Structure 1
Amino acid sequence: MNNELTFRLATKDDLPEIVAMLADDTLGMGREKAGEHISDKYVRAFEKIQADPNQELTIVEMNGEKVATFQMSFIQYLTYEGGLRTQIEAVRTHSKYRGQGIGTRVFEYAINRAKEKGCHLVQLTSDKKRPDAIRFYESLGFVASHEGMKLKLK
């Protein structure tokens, strides 16, 4: 079999697989609701993402199967002389394909995509409860250069 990855923008038909990947880990299973019926909340969120030119929700396929997903948000700001950065979120590889180098290839693609768009910086956050993910990001060259803070509203 050919293990070439293809990257494309997600469609509404991809939502069940995307939500299943988001739910397929210790943290995700407690906050996502995967199943045959996809909540209207996911559909509305997808429609907003799809309508925003600064958002790219990507699905990754290999041999006709959906193996990974991630979202890139392109953020325009004034610092760095009006610089553009990208935030990478919701990176997931289907559990049956983990450990095969797909994550590295996903980030190679995402970093190249950020360069194509003219970004000077790629940033991401990772829950401190995901030490394996943090080590993976560090192996790709990401540095914990800032202290992040969050305020939960719900």
Structure 2
Amino acid sequence: MKFRMAKKSDLKEIVRLLADDELGSKREKYEDPLPEAYYNAFSAIENQGGNQILLVIKDEIIIGCLQLTIIPGLARLGIKRAQIEGVRVDQNYRGQKIGEALFREAITIAKSEGCGLVQLTTDKERKDVFRFYEKLGFTSTHEGMKLILN
């Protein structure tokens, strides 16, 4: 198993992973060709410093991904934060500690970028994932809110 930053040529597999669960299947459009919106979003991620899609590769197959964004801030004496989003592991590889390894790699990157904390949000419908995050050392310290604009 190895890790690397995503390239545009990986986009179809990333979207496949994002769509490969109960919630993702309702939110994503994994079709051929992929909607242009995914290419536009990937270009924006590439062009924004401190923003990347991290992949897990096993036997030359993409089996996991997450988006890692480094966010400079003024609060807490100006610490940087690492935001983790869009975490997915291929359903055929779940339960094999792939997600744990992916998070450990993301946390290592966050530390190397000088981040003072790593944060994430998760959908309340994903009840099983809370135990996973707590096992990794995350604590539920805030209540999150979203305003959907489109």
Pairwise mapping of residues 2-151 of structure 1 onto structure 2 (< 5 A)? Answer: 5-151=1-147
1:152, CA displacement in angstroms?
1.4
1:36, CA displacement in angstroms?
2.5
Equivalent residue letter for 2:34: I
1:35, CA displacement in angstroms?
2.3
Task: State the Cα RMSD in Å.
Answer: 0.8
The whole-number CA distance in structure 1 between the counterparts of 2:30 and 2:42 is 15
Percent of aligned positions with the same letter in both sequences?
46
Query: What secondary structure is seen at the aligned counterpart in 2 of 1:153?
Result: coil
The whole-number CA distance in structure 1 between the counterparts of 2:38 and 2:15 is 8
The whole-number CA distance in structure 2 between the counterparts of 1:35 and 1:134 is 30
Write out per-residue CA displacement over residues 57-112 of structure 1, whole angstroms, 9 at most, x where no aligned residue: 11210111111011111111111221101000001001111111101101111111
1:21, CA displacement in angstroms?
0.3
1:113, CA displacement in angstroms?
0.8
1:127, CA displacement in angstroms?
0.4
Equivalent residue letter for 1:67: I
User: What TM-score, normalized by structure 1, do the two folds share?
Assistant: 0.94
1:56, CA displacement in angstroms?
1.1
Tell me, which stretches of 5 or more residues in structure 1 are unaligned? none
Query: What secondary structure is seen at the aligned counterpart in 2 of 1:120?
Result: strand
User: What TM-score, normalized by structure 2, do the two folds share?
Assistant: 0.97
The whole-number CA distance in structure 1 between the counterparts of 2:80 and 2:13 is 30
Indicate if the aligned counterparts of 2:89 and 2:98 stay in contact, CA closer than 8 A.
Answer: yes
Query: What secondary structure is seen at the aligned counterpart in 1 of 2:138?
Result: coil
The whole-number CA distance in structure 1 between the counterparts of 2:65 and 2:92 is 14
1:8, CA displacement in angstroms?
1.0
The whole-number CA distance in structure 2 between the counterparts of 1:48 and 1:90 is 16
The count of aligned residue pairs is: 150
The whole-number CA distance in structure 2 between the counterparts of 1:62 and 1:122 is 26
Equivalent residue letter for 2:76: Y
